[in-house]
Structure 1
Amino acid sequence: MEKKDYIEKTEKEIDVSLNEAWTLIRTDLKQAFSIIKKAEKLAIKINYDKGIAFCMILLARYNAIKSSNYDEALQLASEGNELAISIGSDEVQIKASYVLGYLYTDLGNLELGLRNYFRGLELMKEKNEEIDPFFLNNIGVVYYDSGQFDEALEFLQEALKTLRKIEKVEYIFESLVLANIAEIYLIKKNTETALKFINESFIVLKENGAESHCFAQNYNVLGLIYKEIGDFQKALENLQLSLSLYKENNQKYMEANGFKEIGKLYLSRNRKEEAIINLKNGLKIAERINAFGMLKDIYMVLAEIAEKDNDYKNAFNYLKSYNELNEKIKTKELDDKLVQHMTEFKVEKAQKDAEIQRLKNEELRRKSEETALKARALAESYEDIKIIGEIGQKITATLDIKKVLNMVYKNINKLMDADIFGICLYNAEQGLITFRIMIEQGKRLPLIKTTIDNEKSFAAKCIREKQAVCLNNIIADSNQQLRYGHGVTKMLSKSIIYYPLIVEDKVVGAMTVQSYRENAYSERSMGMIKALASYIAIALNNSQKSEELKAKSNELEILSKTDVLTGVFNRRYLMDRIEEEALNYKKTQQEFSVVILDIDYFKKVNDIYGHDCGDYILVKLTKLLKTSMRRQDILARWGGEEFLMLLPNTKGDAATSLCEGIRKKIEGTNFVYRKNKIKLTVTFGVEEYNESLGVDSTINNADKNLYKGKNQGRNCVVSH
């Protein structure tokens, strides 16, 4: 077998093995670990970056489940994700998003957890893949942890529905989703429904012969149900059984949660000593694994106990710790993202519902051709729904408010008589109603504003009362005409509809259709407006937030390009820029050089002064480098204490000269940290771009030059 064929065959074997381990890790950790290590050895042997990245992601997941070693897990997952990004593997990036999502969620950083889940969803949408029910479940968990239980339930039910469409359902995961749903119904005080779902979860596990440790969460939820019912003994038995199973499997996060729930159970019977013992056991574990969300909950319970015992000093300390953690993990950005995602979720669902309705009416139309009258009525109904569905799909697909308004106007006359059409937006904070479009027979009218308390405005009345206004025989009085929200029209309307635009019980505006004719609008007209309004409301709500979301998107884009610690560009971004320079070279033959530089003996700085000092040095050095470089030069953190520089329009000799100047400047600088003067030197590897070698080899040569410099005694600039 030729080497190329061998490598391709081995890569496929590695992919199959790692996908098997991804599924197996939920039920057989030991076997999954064995598969991962064998695949890792093979991937390293043939230098298969995708396999290596996938192994890192799986090992991160293994460490989190096996020993709750979140620090190591986060490092592995981040490195695996970075490698997947650099090689352009969407498949591994989706896996990384999932693992990083639940790691950050377990640590209590819901914002970062949510950011990673969103990233995974976007990648799936880009690849036109079916949404992974695991992501839906875990987003539901984020909503649960943030206290938004209705939204959490919606996502979990969608996860269960999606999961059961899969040909071969993973029973462990099905059981998990059922248990999560049961827990939410319990929170909502619906113990009967909670029992129904937890019993269903038990049945799924038993029918599939699941091992005992798989029942841990079920026993935990069942214990909480018995607690709610008031059966202390059964609650305690189930919670203790759950805790023992978590201990056996070394699931530290869930073990801490088990101690917390048992502590709260004892507290419900005023058995404070036993409660405190269990809560402090949970606290120790949560502190050890940095589970900030868990710590926050336990601190609050301990604070309440101390306050009841008049131990105000401890109560204050616990509350202080609680507030510090709460500020750390609860951010406005999280709330905004939760609202954004729920809106997107409802838009997609509305689109699916519209398509289902269209198909139903199509079937109804075909079956109802027995009489001409019936056929005509059904055809009209079908056309209405078809047009509304088409409008809905178009307007919910854009955040551009002008496009939304124009799309609605272009189609509204297909549905009803609309000599005048308008849409206004409502700003609740300012109490202001602003017309964004007002058109009379194709001609745009001047736009006006009014206040919510304007008694002469039907727009204000409609928004205030959250109810439609429908009048079919209006007196042609110019003063009365002003009440409709607009007075600059060619003719006076005889029939009007104003309909509120509502999203999640919040009025975002109103739409109006008006006719010169009396009795222009029927119940059918009102039904069509109602159907259309739900789409318009969502689209307008999205567009109102679009500027804020764009700003956040820009912020996230900057974050995706930059190194968190130093603020300079990251490896992925600079690699893209170097590739662009290479393409430009092909067209213009404009030379450029790359430089890799490394801080000499940086480990000693960390060992002597600590890692905080190391971080300080990296930040200060970055600033010095940026001020020493030219405007066109680009700096990125390559990894650890290594940096990469792109020097456009620069030959190798000029690059060497520039680096020599920077080297001397660093050598002559005192880096002061807590009154300690620290001297640094840096070694540079310089390489001019060689088209025949390509980008990767050019960078590798710069790296080789760097290590030549290290071997020559460091603190130097080396080039060919």
Structure 2
Amino acid sequence: MKKFLIFIIISCNIFLVASTTAIDSLETLLESASGEKKVIILNQLAEKHRYINPQKSIEYGVKAYKLASDSNYNSLKSEALNNIATGHYYLGNYRNAIEKQEEALKINTALNDKLALARSLNNIGLVYKKLGNYEIALNYILRSLAIEEESENAIGIAQSLCNMGNIYFEMSDFDKSLEFYQRSLIIYEELADRRGIADILNNIGSVYDEKGKYDIALDYYLNSLDYEVQLEDKTGIATTSNNIGLTYYNIDLYDKALEYLNWSLNLTLEIGEKYGIANSYINLGEIYLAMRKYTESRNNLQMGLRLSTQIEAGDLMMAAYKLLSELDTELKNYQKALENHKLYLKQREILFENNRIDITEIHEQFELHKKDQEINYLHQRLKLYWLLNIISIGIIIFITFLFIVTRKKLKSRYIQRQEEINNQLRELAQTDHLTNLANRRGMLEKIQYEKYRFERSKNPFAIIMCDIDSFKTVNDKFGHECGDFVLSSISNLFISLLRKQDLVGRWGGEEFIMLLPETDLENGRLLAEKIRKRVNENAFYYKGSYINITITLGVAVFDEITDIKKTIQKADEALYEGKRRGKNCIV
């Protein structure tokens, strides 16, 4: 189920309502426009299309950029770059988005346009947020916020505070997220900015939704919806009604959930926002599945899958395949269920690989940018020294010596600091913040290392995929905080049951992966059964309640005729077979 937070990508206009009439009017004006006026209209068309057709937005932005470059309209050139970058952002081309925003950042710095500079910093931060690089994202948003505060730009401060809250939300630090949202809300209320108030109320509702406080979440969502209706903002109404529908689903009020999700679907169809349409179909499909209305579920899921495939929305494709697999399992179409589960695994692997590549390449760009700044700083120092050299030969010798010593010290400190930052980033990137276990990336690196050992020693190693059975029931019955407690507690239990040389990591959600060095299939299964039995016998005590948990495990062994990816996939398929057999078992 996909909810929507409202991230504020700052443009030159605070809020733009993209209607067909408005676009047609601009295109008519464009036919007779020339010079600066033509660039302005092209930028406006790019902004109008950014939500409904990002590729079209890029095309208009490129035209505006070329004309602005030819005529030295630097401010409009920066605006065009921002529109191009935003189009790439919505298409998932994050490396291109970073490159264009960095180019706009240089122009805005040269122009000393502080508001445009803050805009670029904010938008770069949002790309890093999308890639999961929260530390870098926070750095950019904080720099944007500092400029907005220095300029006393209240609306910009509110927007930056909102985006800070969104980043902490993605990090599951909901208390910190709520703090920034409430600070942003105070400013929007002082400005009587109904657009901003509606956005923040929606986001605060999402925080309480994640905390399992559904009544409070609904109050905030419905208040947000009132503002959206007053503003006649169809995109905002669709976003908030989607979130309301999913909240009603969480409390098993399926009819209410369907009412709001169908409203959201109809609005996104009217607007033509394809991602929202696909997401609405998939959410409806999941609700119909919960209601055991299998025909309606399949129709909606297939519609969502077809549309998400057209727009290459990998996250939605993955969700659709997973739900179709669950649907076919319910109908005992096990062959079809297995096919859809394999497609789900394939799409999940593609998404992980693409994000891994983007994160690595963009992080390298970030480090190069920092080095460029350091070099520029040193060049400024050098210019100052040359001015002093003119005064006397003695001062030249002294300053040259001082510069060499200072440069070496700076370089040494810089290298040392870079090593510290890289180590911190590497640790953050490979650790799951909730359980303190290695995350997917960390485990893949350790499994790769174990493969190198295998190539030398020929000793096999085993992979265990483990999934908590019916984990959604725990969240629904006891709340998400209890779910987090169970994930953390069962992680500690796994560690206590494994050998010193074994490793366990969180693969995603309620799924874990275990690496057993120098272990064949028989011994891997013995250890898996020991873990399953201990978890089955253990009851987790949470706020006066004992919670019984079972797990299903799939075991596979790496040898010379396979590779890491296939071994993990084999263990995952074994896990899935265990689920089909009735759960609480090993395969």
Higher radius of gyration, 1 or 2: 1
TM-score (norm: length of structure 2): 0.49
TM-score of the two chains, using structure 1 as the length reference: 0.41
Structure with greater helix share of residues:
2
Larger fraction in strand: 1
Relative contact order (C-alpha < 8 Å, sep 6+): which is higher? 2
